[in-house]
Structure 1
């Protein structure tokens, strides 16, 4: 285990959770903004600890629509549900910003941590939070108006910059659960209000405060 991995584990209070021989099996990986860690239905063999940056988690519905479940910032954990259920990845996870993760294989966890009470309690806590988040995300698509969801999406996708690049409005509409036409109308309203500029496939945020007020709360966080 390298020094950076040790420092991240110490930073998030995880150094004592994993025995030394398990920590030695961990590896550090980086992903660039927009890069996928994995896609829904991929074979799941690794658990990831998000220690820097921000992720987007989405789900492909039976109707073929991708919907946002949540945005996650460090610290968080992905692959825990699949580890417990021994199943393929349930969701698609991609980097919103450049991210750093600590990976550890399921085989190592099953061999060395299966009877570790502290680890099992940690898993129980994180998985319970995941199902609460999924329930809230599904309800948001029903309870919140499209303009609120659009404002939240724009803010969540640009945590460290003002421009959303190479945006497909069709993909964006699917992710927030609306039609392309409705999304385009809302973006035009935001542009007329002076909150954004939409040009050549890019959306530039001009007034984050106004978008925050529109969102009320950042519902995808």
Structure 2
């Protein structure tokens, strides 16, 4: 949902300032979009028409392959940028972007403001850094998927989520999405989670789990640190 009320729009822009990424003034044409859990930011076969800056929440990106199969490629959170390759005129593989939870994005229209933004050397430098950081995360995930057992990858995921939600809090998770994200089968992931539960490392309920032994999971996760 695009925020139309100017007072509300300005409140969001003041709360999530991104002007430091630019040397040109952008507040006047920044849009604010609110997405509910499950709502699509970009659906299959649609080409993004905006540059999105994730201000709050969490979204996931699916890649649609030529044979029709769908893979969960990455999660994005506050501070991430979406649609940057399309903004630069690079055609990408068909994909969908969906909100995992209620999310807030600031947005700039490609068609209305592309030339102004492309003339901003400060923004292009910052954009290069953001793209590089995304690439490094993708490479690290690929290396981990190919090089380490699922138990290590699952432990690292839980440690990361535990730090996000706070020690002892529940971590909401879709096992179907998580299996795709970790590059594993649903059955294999279920076996690993069952073992973690039996070892007393986690507590699980339907649709969520909670870390009980941070030390044990941290030891597992530390085995896959990349030098």
Normalised by the size of structure 2, how large is the TM-score? 0.75
Structure 2 match to 1:80 = 84
The answer for the alignment partner of 1:5 in structure 2 is 13
Matched, 1:190 2:193: no
User: For residues 60 and 75 of structure 1, do their structure 2 counterparts lie closer, same or farther at Cα, with a shift above 3 Å needed?
Assistant: same
Deviation readout 1:149-187 (Å, 9 max, x if unpaired): 22334455663350425x3x4443222111222212101
How far has the Cα of 1:106 moved from its partner? 0.6
Q: Which deviations, in whole Å up to 9, do the C-alpha atoms of 1:8-45 show, x marking residues without a partner?
A: 22xx5x2571533x321111122234544224542210
1:207 aligns with 2:215: no
Quick check: 1:49–1:102 contact (8 Å CA) kept in 2?
yes
Q: How many residues align?
A: 211
Tell me the residue number matched to 1:46. 50
**Does 1:181 pair with 2:179?**
no
Q: Aligned partners of 1:197, 1:23: CA distance in 2, in Å?
A: 45
Correspondence for 1:66: 71
**What SS does structure 2 have at the residue aligned with 1:4?**
helix
Match of 1:30 in 2: 34
Shift of residue 90, structure 1, vs aligned partner:
5.5
Q: CA deviation at 1:101?
A: 1.3
d(CA) in 1 for partners of 2:156 and 2:44?
Answer: 23
Shift in alpha-carbon separation, 1:206–1:80, aligned structure 2, 3 A: same
Unaligned runs of at least 5 residues, structure 1: none
User: Could you say what the CA RMSD is over the residues aligned between the two structures, in angstroms?
Assistant: 3.1
Decide whether the 8 Å contact of 1:65 with 1:175 is kept in 2. Answer: no
Moved more, 125-134 or 103-112: 125-134
Q: Quick check: 1:136 aligned with 2:140?
A: yes
Q: Which has the higher contact order (CA 8 A, sep 6+)?
A: 1
